């Protein structure tokens, strides 16, 4: 089998110019030089003409570039630093234009700043607002941190406060129970005292009848029958005094319990204050009615006292000066309420609210006319009439009963609105005496 012949490849075309092409290019170049020479574009030696440089324009271009770089530096400094640069910022710093170059190009440093526009920039004001906002944020952060610390401390104290509150509630409940017991004992003592007073009154009337009968009987026949009654009357009076003393002690205990309850109630409302286990200091009982009046006058804030109140108190033989002191302090509270204006209730109702149970609104017209001088007192140089009064004690005799007579001024009698104590002690004369 005969071999198949491969087809012969075509020879590669040459990229070199042919002689004809070279000759044509030569003729064209010679014709171009001749034309340029005739136009004066080429020098006599056939070389292109070399133009002279424009030295003035070159200097102006350099100055414009330098000015642009200075303006750029001013703007960049202001944007980064938050304020326009000062000459001393760039002096002796090779990385920034020098102040004398700025003066040479712009005339002065201020002119350069003005041309850059940074003096009208809002960057400085914006940075001021940012700084103030940062300060305010820092302040609020500190406040929040303090608040958080305080809340954490209070949270840590909460268990102890709850324990304190439970203790206070338990003590208050105990005090409430004690007060109920004291009030019950007080009611019992009052009932016993009233029975004793009634019995003593009956005995006194019987003794008076027998003494009157003995006075009318022949000599030597009357005194014996009254001696047993006299002894019984003396025993009844001694029993009355004992009951009065017990009642005063019960009242003192009740007052201490009320004070304790009020203190514990306040502590329950304010558990953060530690309770004091020390009992309140007890006030010593006055020994005379005059001492009771003097102590009440020294501590009174609303109740006023006429000079006659001290004179009559000094003459009073009333055996329970502590009751006088307590009643005067209750009257001081009543006087404070009255001085403020309309109480919305009568004085007798307000007196009951402050603990005065034997308030009398006045005396009879007969007593005021028949014994007028007894019911007049001088207050600040002005003579006024007494009327409302408070009864103290029970039984008969100045040692067992007393009165506190008052003048109530409504502002229309020349005295300021208020209550004044006029007489303390003996019962003033009236139809019952």
User: Residues 133-154: pLDDT tens digits?
Assistant: 888 888 888 999 998 888 888 8
CA 243: distance to chain centroid?
48
Q: For residues 225 and 231, what is the distance between their CA atoms, to the nearest angstrom?
A: 11
Residue 248 CB contacts under 8 Å (≥ 6 apart), including other chains: 285, 320, 322, 323
pLDDT at 272 over 50: no
Rounded CA-CA distance 420/379 in Å is: 8
The answer for residues whose C-beta is within 8 angstroms of residue 289's C-beta and 6 or more apart is: 313, 314, 316, 318, 321, 324, 402, 424, 425
Find the range with the poorest average confidence among 3-7, 104-108, 393-397.
3-7
pLDDT at 237: 65
Q: H or E stretch including 419?
A: strand 418-425
Strands 359-360 and 401-409: unpaired
| Predicted pLDDT at 212 | 63
Q: What percent of the chain has pLDDT over 90?
A: 16
Please choose, from the candidates 406, 417, 184, the residue with its C-alpha nearest in 3D space to the C-alpha of residue 308: 406
Give the sign of the dihedral formed by CA 295, CA 301, CA 306, CA 307.
Answer: positive
3-state helix, strand, coil in the chain (%, to 5): 60, 10, 30
Q: What span, in angstroms and rounded, lies between the C-alpha atoms of 6 and 3?
A: 9
Mean pLDDT of all residues in 24-48 = 74
Mean pLDDT of the chain: 78
Tens of pLDDT, residue by residue over 303-359, are 999 999 999 999 999 988 999 999 999 999 999 999 888 778 888 888 888 888 889
pLDDT digits (tens, 9 = 90+) for 207-265: 666 656 656 655 555 444 567 766 776 676 666 666 666 666 666 666 666 666 666 65
- State what percent of residues in the chain have pLDDT above 70: 68
Q: What is the DSSP letter of 302?
A: S
Pairing outcome for strands 418-425 and 304-305: parallel
pLDDT of the residue at 279: 47
**Around Cβ 429, how many Cβ atoms within 10 Å?**
13
| 352-368 b/e (C-beta count within 10 Å ≥ 16 → b) | eebebeebeeebeeebb
- Identify which of 80, 82, 84 has the alpha carbon closest to the alpha carbon of residue 117: 84
Task: Give strand pairing partners of 419.
Answer: 408
d(CA 375, CA 395): 23
pLDDT 10s digits, 165-220: 888 888 878 877 777 777 777 677 767 766 766 666 666 666 666 656 656 655 55
pTM over 0.85: no
Strand partners, 383: 378
Round to whole Å and give the CA distance between 340 and 343: 8
């Amino acid at each position: 089998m005969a071999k198949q012949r491969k087809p012969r490849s075509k020879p590669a075309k040459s990229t070199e110019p042919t002689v004809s092409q070279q000759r044509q290019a030569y003729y064209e170049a010679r014709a171009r030089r001749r034309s340029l020479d005739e136009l004066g574009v080429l020098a006599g030696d056939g070389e292109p003409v070399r133009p002279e440089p424009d030295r003035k324009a070159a200097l102006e271009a350099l100055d414009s570039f330098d000015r642009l770089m200075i303006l750029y530096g001013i703007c960049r400094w202001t944007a980064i630093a938050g304020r326009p640069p000062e000459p001393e910022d760039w002096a002796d710093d090779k990385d920034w234009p020098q102040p004398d170059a700025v003066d040479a190009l712009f005339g002065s440093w201020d002119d350069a700043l003005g041309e850059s526009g940074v003096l009208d920039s809002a960057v400085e004001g914006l940075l001021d607002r940012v700084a103030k906002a940062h300060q305010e944020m820092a302040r609020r952060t500190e406040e929040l941190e303090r608040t958080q610390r305080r809340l954490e401390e209070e949270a840590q104290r909460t268990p102890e406060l709850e324990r304190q509150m439970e203790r206070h509630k338990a003590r208050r409940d105990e005090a409430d129970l004690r007060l109920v017991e004291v009030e019950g004992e007080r009611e019992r003592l009052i009932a016993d005292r009233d029975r004793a007073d009634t019995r003593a009154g009956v005995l006194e009337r019987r003794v008076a009848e027998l003494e009157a009968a003995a006075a009318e009987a022949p000599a030597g026949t009357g005194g014996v029958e009254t001696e047993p009654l006299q002894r019984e009357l003396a025993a009844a009076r001694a029993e009355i005094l004992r009951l009065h003393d017990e009642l005063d002690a019960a009242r003192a205990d009740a007052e201490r319990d009320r004070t304790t309850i009020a203190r514990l109630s306040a502590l329950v409302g304010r558990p953060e204050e530690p309770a004091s286990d020390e009992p309140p200091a007890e006030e010593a009982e006055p020994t005379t009615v005059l001492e009771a009046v003097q102590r009440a006058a020294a501590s009174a804030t609303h109740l006023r006292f006429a000079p006659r109140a001290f004179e009559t108190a000094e003459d009073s033989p009333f055996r329970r000066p502590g009751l006088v002191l307590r009643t005067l302090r209750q009257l001081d509270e009543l006087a404070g309420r009255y001085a403020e204006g309309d109480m919305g209730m009568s004085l007798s109702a307000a007196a009951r609210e402050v603990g005065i149970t034997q308030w009398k609104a006045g005396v009879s017209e007969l007593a005021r006319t028949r014994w007028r001088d007894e019911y007049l007192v001088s207050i600040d140089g002005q003579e006024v009439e007494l009327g409302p009064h408070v009864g103290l004690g029970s039984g008969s005799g100045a040692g067992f009963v007393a009165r506190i007579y008052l003048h109530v001024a409504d502002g229309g009698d020349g005295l300021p609105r208020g209550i004044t104590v006029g007489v303390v002690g003996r019962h003033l004369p009236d139809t019952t005496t």
